[in-house]
Amino acid sequence: MGKTPRLLLGRYELGRLLGKGTFAKVYHTRNVGTREEVAIKIMDKDHLSKLGAV
């Protein structure tokens, strides 16, 4: 029995972590419907709000 993939925005299957910085992480993802591979940056809203950037 395989594990259920984590979905972002209901359509992107979360893949491996490509990079990590102070404010964000970048993941390799795949669109479940089209199978297109993309990179998605996920920003840390709590960290940015403390700096007044959000």
Instruction: Give the 3-state DSSP-derived string for 14-52, with helices as H, strands as E and coil as C.
Output: EEEEEEECCCEEEEEEEECCCCCEEEEEEECHHHHHHCC
Q: Is 41 a known ligand-binding residue?
A: yes
Tokens standing for residue 16: 């491996």
Q: Which residues are annotated as a binding site?
A: 41
Q: Which residues are annotated as a binding site for ATP?
A: 41
